[in-house]
Structure 1
């Protein structure tokens, strides 16, 4: 197995960790702290409806946010398991650049995929529900593209660096 193939194990671990961490930032920051949206807030809003409907809608969103957090926790746990497996192998080179690039790649994939599916295709929520949501949604998608490009270029640069790919 060549060094690039061995680094793919670290890349896969970091990418899953990045997906999980990106999801946690979204869920914790946008859903809970800033309360800009919930998982189904475009379909079940908490504003502009009577108090009883708002309470029911908050409960629906809280349940779906919980499932969303279960997904992000699972991605993070799988990433940790893959990382643990990779570091146990003496032939897998450890590289901070590859790990950081993979984390950025995973976070970017999360933003891009979640943004396209949930925000644009399904329309179940938007980054900001109030007012014109399109600029916020596009900024979220753009952040995904930037993170993917940064992560991919960092990983590629590291794979070409013989000092980084030397086995431990």
Structure 2
């Protein structure tokens, strides 16, 4: 890797909300705190979680597809390293409660955990969110580009976000 290796993950055996994202960005790599950037702010807004709730590993597990910052590419960051999820996710999931809500944030998490949907677009997966409940809820990545995506897909705010916030509220202590 062109920079230091710094895995960024947070979880405990009592977390019954699991957020699986892509990979840490450069700001998160620098801070070592998952979702410690504008995308994290937007994700908290979508979920209704406070910072205290989101960063309480006893309530919320924060697990990326790639545990370390993959570096820059043209147009953004490189994709998550492909060896991370197969090597580490099973070990993390063994520790978490079986009855959990898993938010699949972005296409990488969705295609990994919903392989039957590989031919669907991320938008189609998110629009069909209720097909994957109660175990999974697919979401777009909350990067700045999601504001453009949300304008094109107003059903996300009217249909998906209220369900997401209700499910989170049922599980948060």
Tell me the TM-score normalised to structure 2 length.
0.29
Tell me which structure has the larger Cα radius of gyration.
1
Larger proportion of helix: 1
Q: Which has the higher strand share?
A: 2
Q: Which structure would you say has the larger RCO, counting Cα contacts within 8 Å and 6 or more residues apart? A: 1
